Structures are given as structure tokens and as C-alpha cells.
């Protein structure tokens, strides 16, 4: 089960300073320009597998289609 | 501007915290079903989503366009220096194969069954035997006729 409080804390840090947040988790600065670069770095280094990313992407899509999620984030 | 996705969702209100927790559980329950329905395809809204989809080295991802009849594949070699190979396939609907037509039935009817072939062979053998018998009788008759002629002549 995901710890939602930790998730929101991480989310807030990511919003405030994305590059710093990603560097904190070991991603070199040159890969922190975009989320695309960051995830590609993690996949190239085998820290994130294709299956892990596919599952995460799938969960995110489901979450984005959830009416309550839309109500929450579209305010 | 980087991270536009995250910035599209400005700050959260703690009063929604519980609501989000509540909806987390049903999401997990439906996840397995959705994955099975996808059948290994990653559903995308358009080609650009497939083009920008991250692919790990030595992997290939297949995408299905949700709005148009297209399939895409994005493959990355084992070397990080390789450029990803992106291919597009258009899906063409194929009508269901029709039931066997009378023409094909006629073709089938032109072939003999084994029983029919055996019956014909037996009939042919009988005719051959009858022909040989008739030929023998004819030869005998000729001989008899020749003998009779000789008899008459000699008489």
C-alpha cells in the first residue's frame, strides 16, 4: 500500500524544485531537464525496467481517468 | 517549461487526502483486469505519445492507437548509443471468410473416394477378364471354322 503522505511530500518537493528533487535521488543534473530525460536515465541504467515503467504508466492513466482524481487535481 | 505535467496540478488540499486514499484501493483491484485487456499493448492517444514513450535498452514496446487503426513499435538496441527504431503499422479490417461455396464443393465432388475407386477397379478387372474370355472364344471359333472349312474342302 502506498503511503499517501510520503507521496504528497515527494510530490510537493518535485513541484518546488524538480531538478533538485531528482538529483537527490541520484539522477545526474544533465538528466534532470525533463521527466523524459530522467526516466530514460533510470531505464538506461537498469534501475527501472520496461515492465516497471509500463505498469506505472498504466496506473497513472487509470488514476487520471478516475472522477475523484479529476475533481481533486482540476481545481 | 519543464514538468508541465506536475505543474498542471497546483497544490493539494488536505481535505481531499482521505478521498484519494479511498479511491486508491479500487484502483488497485481493477489494475489486473485492465492489464489483461490491453494484451501487452500500451494504449496511446496518438503517435506522438508513442514516439515520446521511454524504452529501456534491449526492449521493444508495442503501442495501439486508441483513436485510429494504427499499431506502433518502438525498439531500442542493447547499446545506449543506439537510436530507437520506430515503426508504424496500419490495421486493415478483413471481412470474415465466407462459407464454402458451391464451386469449391464441385471441385471436391470431382475427386473419387477410395471405395469408388476400388469399385471401378473391380469393374475394370471384370471387363478385362470378360474381354480375354471373348477373345479366347473367338480364337477357338476361328480355329473351328478353319477346320470346318478344311473339312468341307477335303470332303
Q: Cβ of B42: how many Cβ atoms within 10 Å?
A: 19
Question: Could you report the per-residue pLDDT of B120-154, keeping only the tens digit for each?
Answer: 999 999 999 999 999 999 999 888 888 655 544 44
Kindly list the domain boundaries of chain B, sorted by start residue. Answer: 38-93, 112-154
Does pTM surpass 0.80? no
Q: Which of B9, B21, B35 minimises the CB distance to A4? A: B21
Are the Cβ atoms of B59 and A50 closer than 8 angstroms? yes
How confident is the model over B42-68, as a mean pLDDT? 93
Joined grid coordinates for residue B109: 465432388
DSSP H helix total and E strand total for chain B: 5, 4
Are the Cβ atoms of B57 and A44 closer than 8 angstroms? yes
Please give the mean pLDDT across all residues of chain B: 75
Q: How far apart are CA B63 and CA B44, in angstroms?
A: 6
ipTM of the complex: 0.75
Q: How far is C-alpha B18 from the chain's CA centre? A: 52
pLDDT at residue B62 tops 80: yes
How confident is the model over B47-73, as a mean pLDDT? 94
SS3 assignment, position B82: coil
Are the Cβ atoms of A43 and B35 closer than 8 angstroms? no
| First and final C-alpha spacing in chain B | 136
Question: Could you report the per-residue pLDDT of A13-68, keeping only the tens digit for each?
Answer: 888 888 998 898 889 999 998 888 999 999 999 899 999 999 999 888 888 888 88
Q: How far apart are CA B29 and CA B54, in angstroms?
A: 26
User: Which residues of chain A does B3 touch, with a Cβ-Cβ cutoff of 8 Å?
Assistant: 14-15, 18, 34-35
Amino acid at each position: 500500500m502506498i503511503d499517501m503522505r510520503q507521496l504528497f511530500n515527494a510530490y510537493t518537493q518535485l513541484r518546488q524544485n524538480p531538478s533538485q528533487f531528482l538529483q537527490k535521488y541520484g539522477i545526474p543534473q544533465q538528466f534532470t531537464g525533463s521527466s523524459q530525460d530522467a526516466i530514460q536515465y533510470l531505464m538506461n541504467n537498469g534501475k527501472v525496467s520496461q515492465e516497471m515503467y509500463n505498469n506505472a504508466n498504466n496506473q497513472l492513466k487509470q488514476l487520471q481517468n478516475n472522477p475523484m482524481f479529476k475533481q481533486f487535481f482540476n481545481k | 517549461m519543464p514538468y508541465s505535467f506536475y505543474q498542471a496540478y497546483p497544490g493539494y488540499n488536505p481535505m481531499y487526502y482521505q478521498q484519494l486514499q479511498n479511491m486508491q484501493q479500487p484502483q488497485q483491484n481493477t489494475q489486473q483486469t485492465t492489464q489483461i485487456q490491453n494484451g501487452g499493448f500500451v494504449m496511446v492517444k496518438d503517435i506522438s505519445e508513442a514516439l515520446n514513450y521511454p524504452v529501456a535498452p534491449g526492449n521493444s514496446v508495442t503501442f495501439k492507437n486508441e483513436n485510429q487503426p494504427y499499431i506502433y513499435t518502438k525498439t531500442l538496441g542493447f547499446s545506449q548509443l543506439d537510436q530507437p527504431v520506430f515503426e508504424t503499422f496500419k490495421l486493415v479490417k478483413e471481412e470474415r471468410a465466407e462459407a464454402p461455396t458451391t464451386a469449391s464443393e464441385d471441385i471436391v465432388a470431382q475427386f473419387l473416394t477410395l471405395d469408388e475407386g476400388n469399385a471401378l477397379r473391380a469393374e475394370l478387372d471384370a471387363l478385362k477378364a470378360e474381354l480375354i474370355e471373348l477373345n479366347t472364344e473367338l480364337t477357338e471359333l476361328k480355329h473351328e471354322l478353319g477346320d470346318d472349312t478344311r473339312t468341307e474342302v477335303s470332303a
